[in-house]
Structure 1
Amino acid sequence: MGAADEQDRQDGEGWLTKAEVRELWPQVRAISITAVARANSVRMSAAPSQDLTGEPTYHAADVRQVAARIARGEAQVAPWQRADSDAACEDARPVPPVPPVRQQVGWGADNVPGLILLAIIVGLMLWGLTAPDNHGTVTDFVR
């Protein structure tokens, strides 16, 4: 442990998880916390947090300074990163499920070429099975 870490613990400072930062920055969308932290030079730990999420932890003093700057409107937060922006409102709004569109199947003009081809194939098969030159394959079987 370094002297800076020990001093942080004595001052009541330390490292905060992403969930703790989210509580201090309610104006910032949860998905944008890391980007806002980088844009505002918040120190982040290289080691992942203890909660096994794999997220970095954020220096508490830096987070509190940025929280004050966000409240004053001085921090670097893009409009789409704000929780009260139009993008955030659209993301929060549930999208109603769209029922699948069923196409009607019928004997319309679109199906005529396929029906003609089907009729020709069935006709050729029947003709091939009943033709006298089929060497008795079907006729011997039927008799």
Structure 2
Amino acid sequence: MGAADEQDREDGQGWLTTAEVRRIWPQIRPSSIRAVARANRVRTSGAPSPDLTREPTYHAADVRRVAARIARGEADVAPWQRADSDTARDDATPGPPVRQPVRWGPENVPGLVLLAIIVVLILWGLTSGDNHGTGTVFVR
């Protein structure tokens, strides 16, 4: 970068990478940077990011303007987008344990017995000589 680029950044001009915006907006969750920028009308550049991540770059003056609005609580930021909100803390705490799939064991015996009885009754009904009127009689 040249001296002109450095001067532009100091004057609030130029473009910032997502990593730089994260440092300026520590109250915003990293996954919400784009949404917050869009909601608060931060200009983005269509040019590729200097760090080659293909992420947009953000206008430095807009980022600083929104940083001041975030600090005052005036920015358009949803509670779940804030890193310092109750919602963010709830997301960081572990949830209930994931239920493991049921294995074959003693707790399955009653269901298996019932299933076996039903299968036996169906097979017995299909193979018995007299289907009690449920079968079709073919007449020659």
TM interval, short-chain normalised:
0.5 to 0.7
Q: Distance in 1 between matches of 2:7 and 2:123?
A: 86
Partner residue, 2:31: 31
Partner residue, 2:69: 69
Q: In percent, how many aligned pairs have the same letter?
A: 62
User: What SS does the corresponding residue of 2:108 show, helix, strand or coil?
Assistant: coil
Q: Distance in 2 between matches of 1:14 and 1:91?
A: 34
Q: CA deviation at 1:15?
A: 1.3
Partner residue, 1:10: 7
* 1:38-68 alpha-carbon deviations (Å, 9 max, x no partner): 1212111012312232210011121112111
Q: Distance in 2 between matches of 1:98 and 1:108?
A: 25
Runs of 4+ in structure 1 displaced over 6 angstroms? 119-122
Do structure 1's residue 104 and structure 2's residue 108 form an aligned pair?
yes
Gaps of 5+ in 2: 128-140
Q: Distance in 1 between matches of 2:88 and 2:25?
A: 15
- Decide whether aligned partners of structure 1 residues 115 and 53 sit closer, same or farther in structure 2, where only a CA change above 3 A counts: farther
Q: CA deviation at 1:112?
A: 0.5
User: RMSD between aligned alpha carbons?
Assistant: 2.9
- Decide whether aligned partners of structure 1 residues 69 and 48 sit closer, same or farther in structure 2, where only a CA change above 3 A counts: same
Matched residues, number = 119
* Higher-Rg member (1/2): 1
TM-score, with structure 2 as normaliser: 0.67
Q: Distance in 1 between matches of 2:5 and 2:62?
A: 12
